[in-house]
Structure 1
């Protein structure tokens, strides 16, 4: 499963909104100003709406009025609904102000190219000059689309770090050398142990969002390059030997009973007892995963950490092209990314109500299990100015900076595919992938048969044309690289 969608981490970390679209035509920002000439900004963020959202936003608004004469109208849309509902909001022409966007939700590249998001470069030299300096230049480089910036990156881990996440109870019980387990095949002997000795436990827990593309830089699903390919040969991921081997292993695991029977359709259920699952991690992710799951976990890396086009745009906030308050929206984002008081308030809630201070930069959550204020930390701005949890080291963010500096770089980093000539083909291909991917990754179908059907349908819908167009653009892009 995709842990960053489950656990609300600083990474992939990890993330049921009750946001209702009936109010889409009545954005507060349409009126421009609120009481006493305060500008109200409508902000769509990703994740389940917290119980105490109004309490926290009211507190934030007192501070924001003081600082920049702004109020927030925050609306949350849950992970599973975000793409569809934001598409409706954008296509309706609603004059909202801010929205979460990224490589995997909110279609950053597509919305930037079609003019849905405001170009920010001139604002970054004025209202946004402080955050321009505070955020790592590599995030800004990754945000560029045809040389222009259309969203503010949320500073966090820069690379993709896929990990196996093990329930510590079983690691301890069977003395499992989890730090030495990296590949799918490494897991197999221990999956067998759990299957035989823990009948109520799922050895390898997979949900509908699971994928295993640790060898590939996916530029447009399913087209991209092998991470080790400096020649930048564009391939269909599902025609590579690496993918076939992965799917065959998953199929074998499923037949052995190591994978949950509902893996093709399952939504993550934290009550399911599991030995291991897959997450996208970063330094000290175990602490956040343990907090979310309500049980201690430990992890091991699956591959090296890679910085890809997807990872540099993995969490961002855009300003709507239809915003009536673009200057104030950028001024707010500037404060969000540089003001620790505001950032901690929106991240953790109200001191004394939702958390207590342990030391200068460490906090302890109050009644954490009730989760009255629980948001995806990675989606709310610059993580590096937030306090850390009391179980985490004080130098956590220094470890993140080292993690970012040590990551390997995809040979295709910086390339942005212009889809204009193949828009119809990509839409049709996405429909095919929606039909096939979850079932194929679940291990529940014959690989040769199902993979063959998938690739045949992809070709029918014009994948070869997409591959050729991408290769042509990549070849031209290579000429501009030093």
Structure 2
């Protein structure tokens, strides 16, 4: 009887194993099948088996005249190589954030979307369950993707122990630069060497002042400098998914109260207030948001901010079609979640998550398809001048200048203005930059998820506070007090307390 029971168990195991194999085989082909009717011929069924899987991808970007032509060519390659077809849902930069939020809120069925810590906010979305966890798919479906990306990069999209997006591999250190129109730098004798004498951010910003004065006096059609809040990322480090910060460059893992954060930012806000008084900033700076993107594209600024890397100069020159000088500001560092500034996530409502992740693997491993998306069609939008170097065709109808948003930039062609070895130099900066003491920390936001939107709303209300009551210090001080009261009422102190508790616990165990 015992032996019979043993054989019965063995038979059950074998049956289950066979069943698993059959279902596993089905799952591998489900993504390329459509429902078939038993009355259809074998030829019809065979035709349906080879029908490409169609996935959709939302991402922001400026419209390119030949984009559909390029997308069609990419789809030819994707179908031929991988039996996948992509519906490229590019949205204008100004519209992207709002439209993708609406698509997610409406539970629209799509497959992939661009997400970041600053656009289509990754942390808000993942806390609401909008994105699919990818750990199992990464283990089983895309070995080449896992090999192509360093392990530390994938952890940038971890949330409560699971990976929820694929970061685009590029420079992951944080540093900003002042980018200057070269003809103006030459015309007014801007001394670039002086900026190398110090790494103090405030001092470097002050050094540009005489140049700004000359622009104001002599270039009436230009704004002297863009009022970008880049300095905040240089002197404070945001705790991902929140409006809370620690002080950059400090090994002390202290979450700053709102009052402490204001004190850290005060010298820079005071400088911007001074620049506003002197006419170095555009007069509508207090209300301008993303609308100045067009002004930057149309070269309305003599000086503007760009994230710094060894490719910044060539990227700016290719984008704006002028000579540029680039001035690195501050010291580069690797933030706690470096890599979360440019990612692609798979929607929880995706019907084809395996194919969607396969496409992201392709963008990170297939140089032909990646570079076509970046630069267009060879002979029409660019010409090859060496094995790994291209030159864009004059008046090209396709140059999105968004390689950093599409995949692994280390697979990119070199373009005019880029020196050979720039990718190696970028990788060197990735590995040698100072690492944040918070690296590896991921906050559990579940207990404060209802507070965070209220805090964010108050932060946005007082976003350009330095440009209000510029000539009336008493009123400005009153406004600062009001901002503090409102954000604390929204629950900011609870956020600080919860994050500090988690960081203290994490630091004990790391």
TM-score (norm 2): 0.82
C-alpha change, 1:363 and 1:71, in structure 2 (3 Å) is same
**Contact 1:356 1:364 survives alignment (8 Å):** yes
**Range that drifts further, 384-393 or 440-449:** 440-449
Tell me the residue number matched to 1:131: 145
Match of 1:358 in 2: 385
Unpaired segments ≥5 residues, structure 2: 1-30, 36-46, 196-200
Distance 1:424 1:211, change over 3 A: farther
Does 2:247 align with 1:216? Answer: no
- SS at structure 1 position matched to 2:331: coil
Write the distance in 1 (CA, Å) between the matches of 2:414 and 2:33.
Answer: 38
CA change 1:305–1:54 in 2 (3 A) is same
Ranges in structure 1 where 5+ consecutive residues have no aligned partner: 1-28
CA contact (8 A) 1:118 1:320 kept: yes
Distance 2:207 2:480 in 1: 24
**Inter-partner Cα distance in structure 1 for 2:379 and 2:478:** 58
Aligned to 1:285: 312
Match runs of 1:456-471 below 5 Å: 456-471=485-500
Answering whether residue 407 of structure 2 is matched by residue 381 of structure 1, we say yes
Q: Is the 8 A contact 1:32 1:325 kept in 2?
A: no
Aligned pair 1:427/2:430, yes or no? no
Do the aligned partners of residues 200 and 114 (structure 1) sit closer, same or farther apart at CA in structure 2, a change above 3 Å counting?
closer
Structure 2 counterpart of 1:258: 280
Q: Is the 8 A contact 1:361 1:394 kept in 2?
A: no
Aligned residues: 451
For residues 276 and 362 of structure 1, the distance between their equivalents in structure 2, rounded to whole angstroms, comes to 29
Quick one: distance in 2 between partners of 1:178 and 1:443?
34
Q: 1:200 Cα shift?
A: 4.0
- Greater shift after overlay, 406-415 or 104-113? 104-113
**Preserved CA contact (<8 Å) 1:252 1:443:** no
**Partners in 2 of 1:397 and 1:185 — Cα distance?**
31
Q: Are residue 455 (structure 1) and residue 484 (structure 2) matched?
A: yes
Structure 2 residue 249 is matched with structure 1 residue 228: yes
Describe how 1:71-470 pairs up with structure 2 within 5 A: 71-181=85-195, 183-206=204-227, 212-219=232-239, 220-236=241-257, 239-240=260-261, 241-266=263-288, 267-268=292-293, 269=295, 270-368=297-395, 371-440=397-466, 446=473, 447-470=476-499
Distance 1:134 1:300, change over 3 A: same
Q: Provide the TM-score with structure 1 as the length reference.
A: 0.87
CA distance in 2, matches of 1:91, 1:31: 29
User: Following TM superposition, by how much is the alpha carbon of 1:285 offset from its aligned partner in structure 2, in angstroms?
Assistant: 0.7
Q: Classify 1:199/1:50 alpha carbon distance in 2 versus 1 (closer, same or farther; 3 Å).
A: closer
Other-structure match for 2:72? 58
SS of the residue aligned with 1:99? strand
What SS class does the counterpart of residue 265 from structure 1 fall into?
Answer: coil
Contact 1:41/1:325, CA 8 A, preserved across alignment:
yes
Cα distance in 2 for residues equivalent to 1:177 and 1:388: 29
| Aligned mates of 1:373, 1:274 — CA distance in 2 | 22
Inter-CA distance 279–337: structure 2 relative to 1 (3 Å threshold) = same
Q: CA deviation at 1:387?
A: 0.7
Structure 1 Cα separation of the partners of residues 113 and 152 of structure 2: 21
Please state how far the C-alpha of 1:96 moved relative to its aligned partner. Answer: 0.8
Is residue 272–residue 466 contact of structure 2 (8 Å, CA) maintained in 1? no
> Relative contact order, CA 8 A, sep 6+: which one is greater?
1
Alpha-carbon distance change, 449 to 257 in structure 1, aligned in 2, over 3 angstroms: farther
SS of equivalent residue, structure 2 residue 185: helix
What SS does the corresponding residue of 1:214 show, helix, strand or coil? helix
